[in-house]
Amino acid sequence: MPRTSLRKQLLAAAMLLAGVPFTAEAGDIVPFGAKWSYLNPLTSAADPAKADATFDANWFKPSFNMNGANKFSGPSAEPFVRGTPDNVAIDAFDPASPSFLRPAGTFMELPATPGRLTSYFRTDFTTTTTLKDLGIEFLVDDGARIYLDGKEVASYNCCLTATTGGTIVPLGTPTKYTDVALALGNERLYQVRPVISSLAPGKHTLAVSIHQQSGSSNDMGFSARLVDGYAFNTVIPQESTYQYKIGTEEPSGGNTDWAKATFNDSGWSSGQEPFGYENEAGNPQAEIIKTEVLDMYETYSSLYLRKQFTVDDVAKYTDLSLTADYDDGFIAYINGTEVARRSVPGAIGSFVAFDKFGSSHESTNNSGAAPETISISLSKHPGLLKTGGSNVLSIQALNSELGSSDFFLGRLSLSLSGALPSSAKPGDFNADGKLGIDDLDALSGAVRSGSNPASYDVTGDKLVNQDDRLKWVNELKNTWVGDTNLDGEFNPSDFILVFQAGQFEDSTPGNSTWSTGDWDGNGDFTTTDFVLAFQGGGYQMGQRPGGPAAAVAAVPEPASAALLGLSALGLLGLRRRR
């Protein structure tokens, strides 16, 4: 079967969801698959600010009129892509890709080049209680600015005023249609950002602008969900005060004891980051240095920092995030354990003497670009943190040479984050809160694609095949092969439904789904589907113990169902003999 046909079948299930209300799992405020209104300008001349000079400053606010000079489309279900079922373009939403995560919900027209720039998305939601610790999980290609109730709450890979020679758009400044992403985005992985610590009851607006890396970009993708209960805590904010020691000698006799929480740093100096010096006249980096180390020039190459921090409850967190802007290199430790090394030679954990040098690396030079973010999984460092205040971040910063014209280490922050609340139960591939026919059809399409997308590996054997389909039906859904309407029973009414669809051994290849008789998942309704169903042994056996999981409403069975079902089987036999 052609790959484009496979894509169409698999994506059809997601398109059907556009008219189905979503049941969010606990923690979901705006779930995956929710409906968003959107504006997708198709040419550079369609810059929304040309029709409404106030657009850039107001489109993300709750009071904005989406039916005004710039009329929004929808609402339609996410994920959004610029493309077609034959050319999805975003790997995470393409059923033929090994990186496939979920089917696209809405296809938007691909604008003419060079007008493939910004698109805009808005959705309203209502809360009845105060919500705590909101986070947003998103996939965007390429960059995004995210707003809640008219306030910017997150930014990802965004933005420059032009692809070539552009300047950084500062955080908190509304972006424009012509602003572009900092770099190409990641179309395979979701990102997570904290949003707000508390949200009052009432009606709210979530808005996202998606920016392309250039006006000739050949794709665009957007998917997001908003959750509460996302544990996040910045334990060391930027511009904090550190204990520091200049590197004219080893701070602890030639070992890393100085980085341990128990080390006594009372004799060290105290200063606010950023630390550094700048000998190049006019370099804007000099403007943000808080603690100058002018004597570092031609004298010493290392600077040592320590900062104590408190963890409220270690059990709440799964990851650390360290931000740093640096020129030239550094090694970071938590409670004496090395967790990050940048532009410093040597293997992780290897000792670096006070008089060694880092590799050359430029900071952002106060350009407005974001500092580097380093993610650290606590699962790789069991016991790294302690509940309470006896935790220390320690850093050895290194210059590339004694005669370097500058040195910089700043914009340091350390944050803790927990796991996101689960968006769906196992097998709920469209994340609508139930195990339904759309999920099974999506799984069948993933099997036929032959690409083994990990998100459809029900059995956990790194393969996506018939075993995954049978486990979904028999164990996750707790029903039988042949249960057309997924009401938990395989009986004559299921035959009635599939023969009413009229696709048995028809002349259209690949047009059948579970609900029209394709029980073996090959895309067609044939005698092999009956063989598989009767091999399962569920016919007229009633429900399995416990009944079907998250059953959909059962289709009423007519009084004459048994008779009609037997007649259908008779017709099947007659057709097979012809």
Ordered DSSP codes for 403-470 = T-SEEEEEEEEEEEE-PPPPSS-TT-TT-SSS--HHHHHHHHHHHHHTS--GGG-SSSSS--SHHHHH
Phi, psi values for residue 444, rounded to 5° = -60, -40
Number of H helices, E strands in the chain: 8, 26
DSSP H/E element including 561: helix 561-577
Cα–Cα distance between 61 and 59 in angstroms, integer? 6
Say what angle helices 561-577 and 527-535 make with each other, to 10 degrees. Answer: 130
pLDDT at 2: 43
Which residues lie across from 358 on neighbouring strands? none
Cα–Cα distance between 74 and 116 in angstroms, integer? 20
Cα–Cα distance between 125 and 114 in angstroms, integer? 35
DSSP H/E element including 81: strand 80-82
pLDDT at 424: 59
Q: Amino acid letter at 116?
A: R
User: Helix or strand or coil: residue 487?
Assistant: coil
Tokens, residue 384: 């790294």
Using the structure block, give the residue that is written with the tokens 């290849």: 509
CA distances from 218 to 3, 8, 411 (A): 20, 20, 35
User: Helix or strand or coil: residue 195?
Assistant: strand
CA angle, residues 304, 305, 309, in degrees to nearest 5:
155
Other CB atoms within a 10 A radius of the CB of residue 133 amount to 20
Q: What is the pLDDT along the chain (578 residues), one digit of tens a residue?
A: 444 444 444 344 333 333 333 333 347 899 998 999 999 999 888 999 999 999 999 999 999 999 999 999 999 999 999 988 888 989 999 888 888 888 899 999 999 889 899 999 999 999 999 999 999 999 999 999 999 999 999 999 999 998 888 889 999 999 999 999 998 888 998 989 999 999 999 999 999 999 999 999 999 999 999 999 999 999 999 999 999 999 999 999 999 999 999 999 999 999 999 999 999 888 889 999 999 999 999 999 999 999 999 999 999 999 999 999 999 999 999 999 999 999 999 999 999 999 999 999 999 988 878 899 999 999 999 999 999 999 999 999 999 999 999 999 999 999 999 988 765 578 888 776 788 898 899 899 889 988 888 888 898 898 999 999 999 999 999 999 999 999 999 999 998 999 999 999 999 999 999 999 999 999 999 999 989 999 999 999 999 888 786 544 333 333 333 334 444 444 444 344 44
Nearest Cα to 28, choosing from 229, 193, 201? Answer: 229
Say what angle helices 492-501 and 561-577 make with each other, to 10 degrees. Answer: 60
Question: By the 8 A CB rule, do 188 and 91 touch?
Answer: yes
pLDDT at 16: 37
Q: How many residues does the chain have?
A: 578
pLDDT at 423: 58
Q: Domains in the chain and their CATH numbers? A: 3-229 (2.60.120), 234-417 (2.60.120), 477-577 (no CATH)
Ordered DSSP codes for 134-174 = EEEEEEEESEEEEEETTEEEEEESEEES-TTT--B--TTSP
Kind of pairing, strands 106-108 and 80-82?
A: parallel
Q: Is the dihedral of CA 30, 31, 34, 38 positive or negative?
A: positive
